[in-house]
Amino acid sequence: MSEKTATKQNEIQAEKHEFKAEVRQLLDILVHSLYTSREIFLRELISNASDALDKIRFESTKGTEITDNDLPLEIKIDFDEKKKIIAVSDTGIGMTKEELMANIGTIAKSGSAEFLKQLKENKSDANNIIGKFGVGFYSVFMVAEEVVIKTKSYKKDEPAVEWRSNGLGDYEISQLKEDIKRGSTIEIHLKEDAEEFAQKYRLENTIKKHSNFISFPIYLEKEKVNTIAALWREPKSSIKKEQYNEFYKFLTFDSDEPADVIHVSIDAPIQFNSLLFIPKKNFDFFGYNREDYGLDLYVRRVLIQHKNKELLPEYLGFVKGVVDSEDLPLNISRETLQENIIFTKIAQNITGQILSYLIKKAKDEPEKYAEFWKEHSRIFKLGYSDFTNLEKFNLLLRFNSSNCESAEKLISLEEYVSRFKDGQKEIYYAFGSSRDAIDQDPHLEIFKNKGLEVLYLYDPIDEFVLSSIRKFKDYEFKSVDTVDLKSVDKFKDAENKQAENEKLSKDDEKHFDSLLSKIKDILGDRVVDVKESKRLTGSPALLVNPDDSMSSTMQKILRLTNKELEIQKKVFEVNKDSKLIRNLLKIFKTDSNDEYIKNVVEELFESALLLDGSLTDPHRLVTRLNKMLEQSSDWYTEIKKM
């Protein structure tokens, strides 16, 4: 095989190269552990052929000089049942020797490590995984014992090259002796257990199933097998649901049907067609694939760019699809797209269409919208920064609230506002790790008491969203721990809570004021102030942020990024009506310096810090608590005469 020929200019000597380690690892898995859906190797080769054809068409619209310029753009599949060989040929851009080595000998894409991991864990679903990670070519080794690539680049004076490998450890590159036309042929020598693929019906079915929407003709031994239709240009009324589904699967490699299809055809002022899909599931498995989004951009059916990101804001990145316009110049370069006014208008229109679609869906099919929200809201919420579409975005937000009967129920801001109390001008929210946690938050006591609805936020980004959009209609968002109490106190109490508690005598009121001063002495500069609480009905004390300061969650988020940031001091509020405070008052009146007062105050303060999430060291709290439990157990055994 490796005969050495005298090197003329431009001539390539036969050389052996080893695969990179990650390629070998990948090949090992593909060859040894994947037996299901092996047929997708064909989809991958055809997809590469189609990419190569798209690229040559693109070069040609730019006016580049091209070798064999008059070749028809097509894909050919030949097979020999006896010899067990299949050949997939295209008249695309071809590859030079350097390109062959760079493209086929390595895995260039980021995420290949992630791919390997998923492949190992999820062997049966190779079909879904392979295409998404762009390591398609190697899948051919699931069925091949040897693969030969013969290819000639469109670039001038590049010799034709041959690449040959059995997919084990290395590959060999040499110059082709016979001259060939521009493009590539992938010759597959099938393994014994993969003979079935050298049969006409098997090939034909596989092409129809996976490659029907390839926009170049695919010939199976002279017979055209795919239906090249730009589905997005057909009138909506003529398209069946199955066709949409089939196209979606072709486009995304998703084996499931899409949740939504949005077919847009606009004629004026700018002409464009767009076919958009919202997947049922969020593709972005672990959030690492964030960059992998965009819409395929066509100009008069010619693919200009795969996954163009400027057509779609990042927060709508879950939308898949294509856009095709008559009004863009064919020779537009990818670099100047953004400066093109028509392009920008199309992009804006598409964002508008998607948001309007979602608003309608939320209204007409709230249950389906809830499913959408569950799956895609994490990304969607980033839309708070899209100021031009904020009005629409706000309508699409969903939250759990105190009014809901469970943590799963969601409401819109419109619903919240429709339940406003007379005179209410603010939208209240609380943040916590769960519904239970927020329910027990002392900050909420006054809201419950006044019958005011509060949005329950469980995801830190929610609070980010609210503080960024600031208002819904004319109503500001207020965190329950920063709200100005006057604006809440004016509402009537829902139930009459006072009844069971006797009012303090004038004299005791004075003592209570002194007790507050005493507490202030104890806490010193750890708090901004100590005050009587108007918001508590059950709990003895809590910490609140000074009016209109940052909420505790926001402070926490900021502290994550800036460790130096000091913990903001708070106001310590005391509930005069609580049993504990009343007892403290009794003790205080007898001996204002009783140690017990100090211990209780310290304990209440640190417990409040703990609830607030800003207690840095729990040791003292626990030691003190244990001591108090010990004392109380003494009293308990005494009372119970044990």
Q: Which residues bind Mg ion (CB under 5 A)?
A: 48, 136
Q: Where are the beta strands (DSSP E) in 363-518?
A: 400-401, 426-431, 454-457, 471-472, 475-479
Least gap, CB of 199 to ligand ADP (angstroms): 23
Query: Total number of residues binding ligand ADP (CB under 6 A)?
Result: 17
Closest by CA to 67, choosing from 29, 93, 32, 102, is 93
**170, β-bridge pairs:** 18
CB atoms within 10 A of CB 482: 17
Q: Which is nearer to Mg ion, 140 or 527 (CB)?
A: 140
44 near ligand ADP, rule: CB under 6 A: yes
573 contributes a contact to ligand ADP by CB under 6 A: no
Among 93, 119, 264, 347, binds ligand ADP (CB under 6 A): 93
- For residue 171, the partner it binds in Mg ion, ligand ADP, none, with Cβ less than 5 to 8 A by kind, is none
| Residue among 600, 525, 541 nearest 576 (CA) | 541
CA distance 501 to 186: 88
Residues 6+ apart with CB under 8 A from 148: 162, 163, 164, 186, 187, 189
Q: Is residue 104 at the binding interface for ligand ADP, with CB under 6 A as the rule?
A: yes
Smaller CB separation from ligand ADP, 148 or 550 = 148
Instruction: Give CA torsion, residues 597, 599, 602, 603, to 10 deg.
Output: -110
What's the token pair of residue 439? 């329910």
- Residue 555 near which of Mg ion, ligand ADP, none (CB within 5-8 Å, type-dependent): none
- List of residues 6+ apart from 125 with CB closer than 8 A: none
Q: Which of 103, 199, 434, 626 binds ligand ADP (CB under 6 A)?
A: 103
Residue nearest to Mg ion (CB): 136
CB 312, min distance to Mg ion, A: 22
Q: Which stretch binds ligand ADP (CB under 6 A): 86-94, 336-344, 441-449, 514-522?
A: 86-94
Residues 6+ positions from 364 with CB-CB distance below 8 Å: none
Closest CB to Mg ion among residues 136, 279: 136
> Closest CB to ligand ADP among 134 and 159?
134
CA distance 50 to 90: 8
Contacts of 126 (CB under 8 A, 6+ apart): 30, 34, 36, 37, 40, 119, 139
Which of 58, 76, 97, 136 touches ligand ADP (CB under 6 A)?
136
Applying CB under 6 A, which of residues 68, 71, 110, 134 lies at the interface with ligand ADP? Answer: 134
> Do residues 515 and 585 make contact, with C-beta atoms less than 8 angstroms apart?
yes
Residue 601 near which of ligand ADP, Mg ion, none (CB within 5-8 Å, type-dependent): none
Strand-pair partners of 218: 75
Site for ligand ADP in 47-76 (CB under 6 A): 48-49, 51-52
Amino acid at 502: E
Q: Of 323, 367, 328, 79, whose CA–CA distance to 221 is shortest? A: 79
In this chain, which stretch among 129-137, 218-226, 317-325, 485-493 interacts with ligand ADP, using CB under 6 A? 129-137
Residue 637 partner contact from ligand ADP, Mg ion, none using kind-dependent CB cut-offs of 5 to 8 Å: none
Q: Which tokens in the block code for residue 203?
A: 């090939």
The DSSP bridge pattern shows strands 426-431 and 454-457 to be parallel
Q: Where are the alpha helices (DSSP H) in 524-549?
A: none
Q: Which is nearer to Mg ion, 52 or 597 (CB)?
A: 52
Q: Which is nearer to ligand ADP, 155 or 233 (CB)?
A: 155
Residue 52's binding partner out of ligand ADP, Mg ion, none, with CB under 5 to 8 Å set by partner kind: ligand ADP
**End-to-end alpha carbon distance in the chain:** 97
Which residue in 54, 90, 162, 577 binds ligand ADP (CB under 6 A)? 90
Q: State in angstroms the smallest separation of the CB of 50 from Mg ion.
A: 9
Q: Which residue lies nearest ligand ADP, judged by its C-beta?
A: 134
Query: Considering only 132-140, 396-404, 458-466, 491-499, which stretch makes contact with ligand ADP by CB under 6 A?
Result: 132-140
Which is nearest to 281 in space by CA: 48, 125, 115, 51?
125
Record the tokens describing residue 116, joined without a space: 């390997």
128 contributes a contact to ligand ADP by CB under 6 A: no
Measured from the CB atom, is 49 or 231 closer to ligand ADP?
A: 49
How many angstroms separate the CA atoms of 507 and 510, rounded?
5
Omega before 217 within 30 of 0, i.e. cis: no
Identified binder of ligand ADP from the candidate list 92, 258, 432, 442, rule CB under 6 A? 92
Would you state the structure tokens that stand for residue 331, as one six-digit string?
A: 């020779």
Which of positions 147-186 make contact with ligand ADP (CB under 6 A)?
A: 184
- Would you give the binding string for ligand ADP spanning residues 511-550, x where CB under 6 A is met? ----------------------------------------
CA distance 566 to 628: 31
Minimum distance from residue 48 beta carbon to ligand ADP (Å): 3
Rounded Cα distance between 108 and 134, Å, is: 9
Of the ranges 42-50, 77-85, 159-167, 550-558, which one interacts with ligand ADP (CB under 6 A)? 42-50
- β partners of residue 80: 85
Q: With contact defined as beta carbons under 8 Å apart, do 531 and 574 qualify?
A: yes
Token pair 């938050």: residue: 441
* Minimum separation from the CB atom of position 466 to Mg ion (A): 43
- In the range 180-199, which residues lie near ligand ADP by CB under 6 A? 184
Instruction: Give min distance, CB of 111 to ligand ADP, in A.
Output: 11
Q: Judge whether 420 and 455 are in contact, CB under 8 Å.
A: no
Q: How far is the CB of 162 from ligand ADP (least distance, A)?
A: 14
- Residue 92 vs 279, nearer CB to ligand ADP: 92
Q: Interface residues with ligand ADP (CB under 6 A)?
A: 44, 48-49, 51-52, 90, 92-95, 103-104, 134-137, 184
